[in-house]
Structure 1
Amino acid sequence: MNAHWHIGEEDFFKDLERERKEFFAISRRRVLQKKDIVFFEEDSGNSCYYLETGVIKIFQITSSGKEPIFFLRRSGELFGLAEIMDGVKRKANAQALSPCIVHEVSRKAFEDYLANNYLATRKVIQTLGRRLRYLGDVAGGLMVCDVGTRLAKLLAYLCHEYIPSEKGWRNPLTIPIKLTQEQLASMVGSCQQTVCELLKEYQAEGLINIQNRQITVTNPLRLLEAVEV
């Protein structure tokens, strides 16, 4: 399996129950409906967020109206970290792809929290470092990987959170997040038509099954092996 393949992050507060309780104690709990905006590009970066449930997309809107998606943030992840450290303006938008519960913490409260919680501070540094490496991998992938490889890795990435064990990589798994072909295309740096054709190819080869925009990967490991070079 490709060493640069990006998988979903584990819960930020895994094995940090005291830090979780302290974070929740200083946060504001927000309930979001699908399509609710968390923040807009150019907003002040004065808060960060912990996603308790749901899926958030981080994206921009181009001058032509396209919406390239940079990340999907899922349950257990912190987001809005890059801007809160310096208090600079947001570089992207954040929007709920499903009903969500988020916990928002202000910049000042977060700084005080980190000053008193070494383990959480170390975890933030690790998280930012991992995401920076991921962006480097994405940039490299756009230059050396074809669209088919990038799409297969994306589908496997979307499966990862829901695979209970290593053996689960060979079992059928339905991705619970419904994404349009345009959204998939924006995440792999391609166009809707190319993604549509690739999905049809994967389905004809028995690698995936699509019904009502719901994608089932019949064997995530086989899908990855099919595009490995």
Structure 2
Amino acid sequence: MIIHNLGEENSVLNQFISEIRDSQVQKDAMRFRRNIERIGEVLGYEFSKELEYSPAMVETPLGSKEMKLNQDQLVICSILRAGLPLHQGLLNYFDTAENGFISAFRKHEGNEDNFEVIVKYFAAPSLEGKVLILTDPMLATGRTLENVLLALKEHGTPSAIHIISVIGSQQGIEYIDKIFPEYTHLWIASVDLELNSRGYILPGIGDAGDLAFGEKL
């Protein structure tokens, strides 16, 4: 897997990351969602440099111009519900992409630290020969992405896989590196070194889904 850690570079992306981490700024759910969306736009722009481009003529009112345009068929597949703002950020840039959604969540028995990942809903077009953009804002243990990859296999084999994530743990990145095909790219805005006993990223941001859409039962 090829890892692109954009948090190692100095850019405006760091401002968006600092705000989604800030416990005071997090109180504004609309700003939190917008910052995740903007992070998606930045990651989408960087990811677009890896796509295939072909020359095409564009007619203007005064003449014509040859430009290199992307010809790939893209499918953006996001994990509900936390992935929705990130999905929108990517869709802002790849407006002709097809869309997929998958529900994957942790199930803890009682108050135990151990959990299993449950996949209950999946809707997506065929992935055969297309570029799959898989979004998961918080790459913690990597087990959610592992289960999503298994569910996706019934929809065909993509020509390339690009994972878009906001914050990940080093442990989770190492885990999915062993599972996903070698041609997979990971585009991530920041990497933290630790997980707590329940598999949450430290210092992380907390629960991205709750911060974006409110606490769940």
Q: Provide the TM-score with structure 2 as the length reference.
A: 0.25
Q: Provide the TM-score with structure 1 as the length reference.
A: 0.24
Query: Which is helix-richer, 1 or 2?
Result: 1
